[in-house]
Structure 1
Amino acid sequence: MSKIIFDSGISLDGFFAGENRGPKNPMGGVSGQIHSWMFNQKAFWEYLGFEGGKEDSADGKYIRETIARTGAFIMGKRMFEEGEASWPNDLYKADVYVLTHEKREPWVQEGTTTFYFINDGIESALSKAKKSAKGKDIRIQGGANTIQQFLNAGLVDEFFIHIAPVFLGNGIRLFDGLDKDKYDLQITEVIPSDLTTHLRYKLTKK
């Protein structure tokens, strides 16, 4: 049965992205600081179809397991716009539903990635993603506002946070504007590594 999940890196002081993010400055220029653990792994580059990475550690095992369990993605327009010009072809290898007010035909890539542009809200995107996922998990890819919408709607079953050992000082926080009384949270897994700490949380609606 599909779970609704998200998987995000944050700084030690809680920031998901830097300020002034946009298509010419994805994630506000902090991706290297937040996601260095991922870029260091052979599993990440194998997924992209390139050679790279220095290690194949517990971080790499986590990457492979997450890829295997994910059957569809949902993201916001801002995240899509930041990656549209630079992402490699067939990055997601699954159907991706983009929340937007823009009416646009599906973008079918070579391989197994198709981007669908959803104009009627998160429930509609989720319904379509469930059909695409075929029993696998649906991953809310981002950005922060999209993740917050799903959390506040009570639609998230589980999430993974990767805490990088850096302070950003400012930027976009992942958990701003949340209904703090929506869920009870339980830590179900902790995976330490040199470049991050992975935390897995189960959410139960109150």
Structure 2
Amino acid sequence: MAKILYSVTMSLDGFIAGPGGDMSWLTPYLGPNELVDELIPQIGALLVGNRTYGGDDPHKGTEQEGEPFGGGWSGPQFVLTHRPPAVPRPGVTFVTDIGSALAQSAAAAGDKYVNVLGAETARQCLAAGGLDEVLVCIAPVLLGDGVRLFDRPGGTPVPLERISVSHTPLATNIWYRVVR
């Protein structure tokens, strides 16, 4: 059975994208990360928010642009959106509600991970009771503004249990399990 994992690189001050969704800040921190390299083959499907799907790319201007994990992963993608495009895109399923998105992506992933990309989509997964784990790779930079890891004003605390901590020259990785 698939697990739903929100994996993301975050600045030390809690931002996953800069102002306006700018991802160029991430480019210097895309170096080797053994934990991420081991995770990628364990991903069976992606569940992506529409802003993330159509947004900025840290690989902009390279042959890896537009490819999940810079071309290191391929497989079924599910994009959560209120406005699916009129023209289908190969390998991409557009879904309009979080319940369907979770069910379809989990079915496609089989016994692997569904990797969630996008802060709002991760928040919706959490609210729906579908988020199982969170992997945060903390980059040694302070962005000062942008898109937060989780933005839940007035939300209640969500207890997490640490699974592991590891370090690379470019990030500190902290993997958590959502406690239910």
TM range (shorter): 0.7 to 0.9
Q: Which residue matches 2:41?
A: 68
Instruction: Say which SS state the counterpart of residue 130 (structure 1) adopts.
Output: helix
Q: Which residue matches 2:95?
A: 118
Matched, 1:134 2:110: yes
Q: Which runs of 4+ in 1 moved over 6 A?
A: none
In structure 2, what is the Cα distance between the partners aligned to 1:88 and 1:199? 24
Query: Shift in Å at residue 165 of structure 1?
Result: 1.1
Deviations 1:58-86 (A, max 9, x none): x2x31232112110111111111126994
In structure 1, what is the Cα distance between the partners aligned to 2:159 and 2:67? 38
Matched, 1:189 2:168: no
Greater RCO (Cα-Cα under 8 Å, separation 6 or more): 2
Q: Which moved more, 1:152-161 or 1:87-96?
A: 87-96
Decide which of 25, 31, 36 is 1:40's aligned counterpart: 31
Instruction: Say which SS state the counterpart of residue 187 (structure 1) adopts.
Output: strand
What code does the residue aligned with 1:107 have?
Answer: R
* Pairing of 1:101-112 with structure 2 (within 5 A): 101-104=82-85, 105-108=87-90
Please list every run of 5 or more consecutive structure 2 residues that lacks an aligned counterpart in the other structure. none
Using the size of structure 1 for normalisation, the TM-score is 0.75
Q: Which residue matches 2:52?
A: 79
Q: Which residue matches 1:94?
A: 75
Aligned partners of 2:3 and 2:106 also within 8 Å: no
In structure 2, what is the Cα distance between the partners aligned to 1:83 and 1:116? 20
Q: Which residue matches 1:47?
A: none
Matched, 1:199 2:161: no
Q: Which residue matches 2:8?
A: 8
Decide which of 112, 137, 140 is 1:165's aligned counterpart: 140
Query: Shift in Å at residue 103 of structure 1?
Result: 3.1
Aligned length: 170
In structure 1, what is the Cα distance between the partners aligned to 2:83 and 2:101? 14
Higher Cα Rg: structure 1 or 2? Answer: 1
Q: Percent identity?
A: 32
Q: Which residue matches 1:56?
A: none
What code does the residue aligned with 1:6 have?
Answer: Y
Query: Shift in Å at residue 145 of structure 1?
Result: 1.2
What code does the residue aligned with 1:30 have?
Answer: W
Instruction: Say which SS state the counterpart of residue 177 (structure 1) adopts.
Output: coil
Query: Shift in Å at residue 129 of structure 1?
Result: 0.9
Q: Which residue matches 2:20?
A: 20
In structure 1, what is the Cα distance between the partners aligned to 2:37 and 2:26? 20
Instruction: Say which SS state the counterpart of residue 132 (structure 1) adopts.
Output: helix
Please list every run of 5 or more consecutive structure 1 residues that lacks an aligned counterpart in the other structure. 42-58, 109-113
Using the size of structure 2 for normalisation, the TM-score is 0.85
Deviations 1:34-58 (A, max 9, x none): xx1xx322xxxxxxxxxxxxxxxxx
